[in-house]
Structure 1
Amino acid sequence: MKHVIALDVGGTGMKAALVGAEGELLYEARRETGRERGPEAVVEGILAFAAELRGYGIEHYGEPASAAGVAIPGVVDAEKGVAVFAANLGWENVPLRDLLTERLGGLPVALGHDVRTGGYAEGRLGAGRDADRFLFLALGTGIAGAIGIDGVIEPGAHGGAGEIGHVVVRPGGVPCGCGQRGCLERLASASAVTAAWSAATGDPRATAADCSRAVDAGDPRALAVWEEAVEALADGLLTAITLLDPRTLIIGGGLAEAGDTLFVPLRAAVASRITFQQLPSIVPATLKDTAGCLGAALLAWDLLDTEVRA
C-alpha cells in the first residue's frame, strides 16, 4: 500500500505518521526531541525515527514509503532542504533533506516550516478547505502564520512570509527576542498570557489555560489579562486583514483551545476595528495536533506529483 512518512519536529517532542494517498493516518508515533543532548543528537534522533517508520511501513504495508515530508521550527530553506536556523534546537544550516535521503535509501524528502506546514494542512484538509484566501495563525509559545492562496502557501521571497507574531502592535513595549519591542507574540501568545497570569496571581505554575478558566469564572484579574491579549491580537489581525484581505482567518495553537472564551471577544474586537476592510470569517483550526504531520504528508505527496510531472 502506497504511503509517505510524515514528521513534525517540535522543540520538545516529535510527532510522526505514515499517511496514505487520501490523507488517512495509517500509523502514528511520538518521540522526545532530546534537545538536552545537543543539536547533533537531535538530528540523529530524527534520522533514526524516520528509518524506524520506513521499516514499519515495509513490515506492515508491504513496501517502503514513497517519500517523506518533515516540518521543523525556525528558518527553513525548503528549496535547498536546509534548516537555516532553529534556536530552540541549536541548529544552524543543517542539510536535513540530504541527511534524511541518505538514511532512507534515496527516498525523496520535502522540508517545510512547522507552522506553515500545519497551515497548509488546515487549508487543504481542515478549516480553510473551502477558502480561496486564508490566513492561519498558531497561538502557542510564539505566534506564526501561514498565508494561503488558492490551495498554496505563500512562502515569501526569502521563506519568511506569515511572521505576524513580529508585527509591532505596542511600539516601545515589551522587548522581543527578535530585537524589536511590542511584538504581537509578546502580548497574545499562549506563553505571553501564561506569563501575565502568573504575574497577576503570583503563582509560577499558572498557565494560559488556568487564565481562561478564571475568565469563565469572572475573575477580574483574569479578565484584565485576557482583554489585554485579545485587544493586542485584534490589532495585529487588523493589520493582516488590511494587507492580505483574507476570506478566512484560522486560529490554532494552545490559546485557541479556550474556544468561545477567545473567539467571542476576538470576533467582536476585530469587527469594531473594521472601517473600509471586509471582515473575514474567524474560525478555530480543526486538525489540532495532527496538522503538522498531515501537512508534512501533503508536502511529500506534492513532491511525488512534481517528480511524476517532470
Structure 2
Amino acid sequence: MARTRHVIAVDVGGTETKAALVTGTPTRVHPVKQQRRPTRRTGDAVVEDVTALVNELRALSDHPIDAIGVVVPGIVDEATGTGVYSTNLGWQNYPFKTNLQTRTNLPTAFGHDVRAGGLAELRQGNARDLTNAVIMPIGTGIAAALVLDGRVCTAPGEIGHVDVGHGDPCDCGQTGCVEARASSAAIARRYTRRANRDVNGAADVARLLTTGDTDAAAVWREAVDALARGILLIAALLGPEAVVLGGGLALAGPLLTDPLGERLDELIVFQRRPELRLAALGDEAGCLGAALLAIDMLEER
C-alpha cells in the first residue's frame, strides 16, 4: 500500500496563483487547506509569491511537508525545471526549480500546468477510463494534455496556437490562432469590442447568450468554430477517444458542448469523431496535478 504523503501544490495561472496543502498517494490526492493570490508577471516575482504561499501553508500543516509541486503555463523543460517561454506572463529560460528549492529548502517537482491538470483528470477525474484522449482546459489561454496509451505525454500540445484560418492576430505574434477567438479571455475581449460593453469574463458572455444578445451569439459562434477546427486537427492527427474540456469556459456546460458537437459534426469528413466530455475537477485540477507530480517524484526516489 502506497504511503500517504503531505505536499504543497502550487498552480501558477495567467491571472491567479492557487496553492494547496495536499495529502494523498499516487492514485488519489485531496486538498486540506488552500490559498490564492494574483499572479505577478516575472519569474522572480512568481518565485517570491510561491515561496510566501508555501511558508503560509507549511505553518498551517499538522504534518512535516515532504515536497512541493509547482506548475506553470507556457513552454517548460521539466527535466531542467525551466520555464522556457510564456506568452502571457513574459518569462524566458527562467530556472524555477533551482530557485524554488533554494528558497523553500524543499524537494521540488516542476511541470506544465496543463499536463498536471491532465494527470489529475486521468487518475481521479473524468478521463479515468480513457486510453487515448486530449484534456483541454480553456482559460486565459488554451493548451492540451495528450494522453497516449494511458499515460500523459511529457510535452503538452499547444493547440491554442495552431492557425485555424480566421486571420485575427494573437498575442503570440501569429494570426489565426484558436486561442485568439476561443479562450475565455478572448471571448470577453471580443464581446467588449463588438458591443462596446464591459463584461466580467466569458461567463458573462455565456449568460448574455441565454438572453438572446446578438453580439454574444456572434462572438460565441466564432469561438465555437475556432475550437471545433482545433479539435478537428487533433482528430486528424491523433484520433482520440474523447476530448475532455476544462477551465473556466467548460463551466458553460451544454452552452459550449452542444454547439461544439454540432459544429464538429458539420466539419468532420473521415476523422474519428471524439466524444466531448466536461472535466470533473474544475479549477482544482492544476493543484491536484502538481501534488501528484510531487508525490510521483518522492515515489521514484
TM-score by length of 1: 0.88
Letter in 2 for 1:75: I
Deviates more, 1:85-94 or 1:175-184: 85-94
- Residue 298 of structure 2 corresponds to residue 294 of structure 1: no
C-alpha contact 2:29 2:292 (8 A) present in aligned 1? no
SS at 2:24 equivalent = coil
In the TM superposition, residue 12 of structure 1 has moved relative to its aligned partner by 3.6
Q: Give per-residue Cα distances to partners, 1:266-293, cap 9 Å, x unaligned.
A: 1111122222222121011110011011
Share of identical aligned residues, percent? Answer: 46
In the TM superposition, residue 32 of structure 1 has moved relative to its aligned partner by 1.9
In the TM superposition, residue 102 of structure 1 has moved relative to its aligned partner by 2.9
Match of 1:76 in 2: 76
24, 27, 36: which one aligns with 1:31: 36
Match of 2:188 in 1: 194
C-alpha contact 1:121 1:298 (8 A) present in aligned 2? yes
SS at 1:122 equivalent = helix
- Residue 128 of structure 2 corresponds to residue 124 of structure 1: no
In the TM superposition, residue 90 of structure 1 has moved relative to its aligned partner by 4.1
Match of 1:134 in 2: 133
CA 89–176 in structure 1, closer or farther in 2 if over 3 Å, else same: closer
TM-score by length of 2: 0.90
- Residue 233 of structure 2 corresponds to residue 239 of structure 1: yes
Letter in 1 for 2:65: A
CA 2–116 in structure 1, closer or farther in 2 if over 3 Å, else same: closer
C-alpha contact 2:29 2:291 (8 A) present in aligned 1? no
C-alpha contact 1:118 1:294 (8 A) present in aligned 2? yes
In the TM superposition, residue 248 of structure 1 has moved relative to its aligned partner by 1.2
- 1:82-161 to 2 correspondences below 5 Å: 82-105=82-105, 107-156=106-155, 161=156
SS at 1:31 equivalent = strand
- Residue 44 of structure 2 corresponds to residue 50 of structure 1: no
- Residue 5 of structure 2 corresponds to residue 5 of structure 1: no
CA 12–192 in structure 1, closer or farther in 2 if over 3 Å, else same: closer
SS at 1:20 equivalent = strand
SS at 2:171 equivalent = coil
Alpha-carbon distance in structure 2 between the residues aligned to 1:213 and 1:44: 37
Cα RMSD between the aligned structures? Answer: 2.0
C-alpha contact 1:126 1:286 (8 A) present in aligned 2? yes
Alpha-carbon distance in structure 1 between the residues aligned to 2:197 and 2:17: 30
Alpha-carbon distance in structure 2 between the residues aligned to 1:101 and 1:201: 47
Match of 1:178 in 2: 172
CA 83–152 in structure 1, closer or farther in 2 if over 3 Å, else same: same
- 4+ runs deviating over 3 angstroms: 86-90
Alpha-carbon distance in structure 1 between the residues aligned to 2:56 and 2:278: 34
> In the comparison of the two structures, how many residue pairs are matched?
296
- 1:189-228 to 2 correspondences below 5 Å: 189-205=183-199, 207-228=201-222
Alpha-carbon distance in structure 2 between the residues aligned to 1:275 and 1:88: 35
In the TM superposition, residue 164 of structure 1 has moved relative to its aligned partner by 0.3
CA 225–126 in structure 1, closer or farther in 2 if over 3 Å, else same: same
C-alpha contact 2:71 2:110 (8 A) present in aligned 1? yes
Deviates more, 1:13-22 or 1:266-275: 13-22
Gaps of 5+ in 2: none
Match of 1:274 in 2: 268
CA 256–113 in structure 1, closer or farther in 2 if over 3 Å, else same: same
